[in-house]
Structure 1
């Protein structure tokens, strides 16, 4: 993901050495400076984070980067004039209602893409991220509308989107026979493994690769991955497709799919944090090979910021990291519960569109959360994309609670409840020790040490402050260090 630009830089992006060399340097960049993107030869501004990469930009600002507000307004007006004067309105109420809703959404998107505030990312174009911000607002409004309907009307409304929806669908159970090698099946004794190898296996890998690029921290990704498997164990009495074999949980998911995705994501993060960021305008590159590279690197970050979460540094960051993990897990659970209560099959395109939506908005939200945590003096309020993503996650959960409270309120088995209570107690105990008891103890020891030093200073006899005995000049010249003897008067 990219870091915010301090200015609109160039038509496209080219990373590498000077244009005449026509190559990209993938080795270690120059040491990061405390500053934002700047012109070559210009010193960075003080006070910025040292985790920001150094960026060189020739400052090219072309037609590609302009907002084109008048052009968009003219095209929008022409379309509305055509519908009003030249097109005959069909005598179909349902069709006209759908088309009117779609037209209203498109007008709002046109406004947002040209007028909304820029976010922290600028590649491939700031308008791309403004578009997804507006899609977030539309999706939240849709969720609010569904939330205010009855359960029957809400599911019936889904039929207006797709007539195939609104029908109860059985959930697939991934448990059952958990033998890795089934000797009873002479044709294919490994049939249990092949049955689990569906389209969700590459989806798991790709999903965790992208999540790693969002979070940019190995241990947080692993904690979320393992915690979600514990949630599946805990909630398999509510959703049948949470019931999986032990090797499906820990080998297929955690080690193979999630682990491999996290590993590849960390390798990509390492490459992005080490390579230099040197940008030149497309028309300033003399060769076609350089122009092609320039176009390709337009879809890479403008610069890079390494996330250093440091959850144990203070209580505020610790609570923020716990909140991030909680919201991630809640958003993951909403994926399964929403399709369960709204009767959407797992392979439906709406489920896929929701995942694509979170892929595009999640990275921006995580960057805004990190900026808000790491630099609260400059980022005094939570970013707009992070705010709307949090609202979406909470609204989705409220829809699940309203549409199927019976499933949500199914009692959790007693031994699972004991495990979760033990985990919560351990977290609370560590929090109290780390940020309260430990700090109080350290302050008490420091105060006691200062008091002892002050008492020793007061008890020291006057005139004995110097530890080196005074010697006569003659003794020093003769090499004798005996103290100077006072003569009698």
Structure 2
């Protein structure tokens, strides 16, 4: 009897400790407000395949292994030797690149995005690592040697190019040329207007927030004002800065992005297998829908909700502004024309990497159980920093040109204003007690687990707590009954 009583007491103690631990964890999580229901996001399994197209979702590791071995076997033992050492080096380097890409697409873990296929995002991640390695190689070169290396990619490179000056006469109507009085305005309309529009449409989609896109748009124009003494490309007319760029192109792209975000937010994500759909029209729509998101998470950044979020949002803005500046300075140091295909390839992959990076960053900020920076965020931060170092090293005489005193004063005032606001908002008037969270319920789709609300308190499940308390109560009753006996 005593042994049974000791066993029951030890079981009761273990259950009490478990209940208290879960309750403390629950209370700690309930103090936090999150923009997305991460508990349901993790608990609901993501249906990637409807079991009718499973071939396209397998890793095919054995198939790729056999393919790579056959390629290496052909080059090593069957192909006739080539005596051109330069050609062999280039081809071997390209083969190593393809080997790494195939390996990464096969064995890399999936990221947060799965549409149109997880292999696309694994491919983008492997390319980011390759790009970072190339940047490290470039960082160890001199400017002339780096330009010679770029000539191996495109033989037309390596020659100095003139920088286009968008400033000059800022007259919208020039009466001195009656045959074409609006020539200044026409000169500013080129293909890059549509590039601005498309770029800010994409930025709004990956930020999922108009405020961040607008802040970056305005801040970059201030950077162009501040650095026009270094690059002639930054010298623009006032109406080119604020009307053509900010109000027409950037704001237009942001508005288009907001309409797209509204559509993606209101869309119902209910997926069916391709072969289950009876009509050909439905099958075609299902194939096209494969290129849309599998589910949707609305990014609610809330930069003023805490000091951590405020600093994180400032860091995101700074990183994007440095990325924008790197685009112009890399063109300058490597003598790339604005329309060169390398610029567009870099911007395309920056868009993919930035989308994954912001998704990972938002989860780190919003999910209480996510405490580790994502893989793509880590690599992208290295890429941006290495690009910046290359620009500083290769364009040192240009970057060290004296900045006008008025520009320095304005930037100092801006930094001081941000620092004072941060001190007042998050230190002097910091709330001493956290408010009770509002238990706003959120509709979750039974298939994909996406949220239908905008803001809710983090509400962890209490089913395990209830079960343990019931077990504790039953054991107490059994112990009392044994004492009576």
Q: TM-score, normalised by structure 2?
A: 0.79
Q: Secondary structure at the match of 1:277?
A: coil
How far the C-alpha of 1:47 sits from its partner, in A, is 8.1
1:50-449 alignment runs, 5 A limit: 59-60=50-51, 62-377=54-369, 379-439=370-430, 443=432
How far the C-alpha of 1:152 sits from its partner, in A, is 2.1
Partner Cα separation in structure 1 for residue 391 and residue 210 of structure 2: 31
Partner Cα separation in structure 1 for residue 368 and residue 381 of structure 2: 19
Q: Secondary structure at the match of 1:209?
A: helix
Partner Cα separation in structure 2 for residue 100 and residue 107 of structure 1: 10
The 3 A distance-change label for structure 1 pair 47 and 91 is closer
Q: Secondary structure at the match of 2:288?
A: helix
How far the C-alpha of 1:169 sits from its partner, in A, is 1.2
How far the C-alpha of 1:57 sits from its partner, in A, is 8.1
Higher helix proportion:
2
List gaps (5 residues or longer) in structure 1.
1-32, 37-44, 447-489
Task: Give aligned pairs, total.
Answer: 399
Aligned residue number for residue 25 of structure 1: none
Partner Cα separation in structure 1 for residue 403 and residue 263 of structure 2: 44
The 3 A distance-change label for structure 1 pair 289 and 169 is same
**Contact 2:173 2:181 (C-alpha < 8 Å) held by counterparts:** yes
The 3 A distance-change label for structure 1 pair 58 and 398 is closer
The 3 A distance-change label for structure 1 pair 89 and 124 is same
How far the C-alpha of 1:206 sits from its partner, in A, is 0.5
List gaps (5 residues or longer) in structure 2.
1-34, 436-485
**Contact 2:166 2:236 (C-alpha < 8 Å) held by counterparts:** yes
The 3 A distance-change label for structure 1 pair 271 and 342 is same
How far the C-alpha of 1:48 sits from its partner, in A, is 6.8
Deviations 1:250-278 (A, max 9, x none): 01100111010000001100100011000
Partner Cα separation in structure 2 for residue 299 and residue 163 of structure 1: 36
Partner Cα separation in structure 1 for residue 257 and residue 109 of structure 2: 29
Using CA pairs below 8 Å that are at least 6 residues apart, which structure has the higher relative contact order? 2
Deviations 1:325-347 (A, max 9, x none): 00000000000001101111111
Partner Cα separation in structure 2 for residue 398 and residue 237 of structure 1: 20
The 3 A distance-change label for structure 1 pair 358 and 57 is closer
How far the C-alpha of 1:46 sits from its partner, in A, is 4.8
Partner Cα separation in structure 2 for residue 35 and residue 204 of structure 1: 34
Q: Secondary structure at the match of 1:290?
A: helix
Partner Cα separation in structure 2 for residue 92 and residue 256 of structure 1: 54
Partner Cα separation in structure 2 for residue 329 and residue 121 of structure 1: 25
What value does the CA root-mean-square deviation take over the aligned residues?
2.1
The 3 A distance-change label for structure 1 pair 55 and 184 is farther
**Contact 1:137 1:388 (C-alpha < 8 Å) held by counterparts:** yes
**Contact 2:143 2:333 (C-alpha < 8 Å) held by counterparts:** no
**Contact 2:168 2:237 (C-alpha < 8 Å) held by counterparts:** yes
How far the C-alpha of 1:34 sits from its partner, in A, is 7.1
Deviations 1:384-408 (A, max 9, x none): 1111111100000000111121111
**Contact 1:166 1:343 (C-alpha < 8 Å) held by counterparts:** yes
Partner Cα separation in structure 2 for residue 417 and residue 170 of structure 1: 28
Partner Cα separation in structure 2 for residue 56 and residue 346 of structure 1: 43
**Contact 1:56 1:278 (C-alpha < 8 Å) held by counterparts:** no
Runs (4+) of structure 1 moved beyond 3 Å?
33-36, 45-49, 54-61
Deviations 1:370-426 (A, max 9, x none): 11111142x221111111111100000000111121111111100111110001000
How far the C-alpha of 1:158 sits from its partner, in A, is 1.3
Q: Secondary structure at the match of 2:270?
A: strand
Aligned residue number for residue 467 of structure 2: none
How far the C-alpha of 1:66 sits from its partner, in A, is 0.9
**Contact 2:36 2:298 (C-alpha < 8 Å) held by counterparts:** no
Partner Cα separation in structure 1 for residue 408 and residue 70 of structure 2: 61
Partner Cα separation in structure 2 for residue 58 and residue 329 of structure 1: 39
Partner Cα separation in structure 1 for residue 265 and residue 323 of structure 2: 28
Partner Cα separation in structure 1 for residue 122 and residue 257 of structure 2: 25
1:472-487 alignment runs, 5 A limit: none
How far the C-alpha of 1:151 sits from its partner, in A, is 2.2
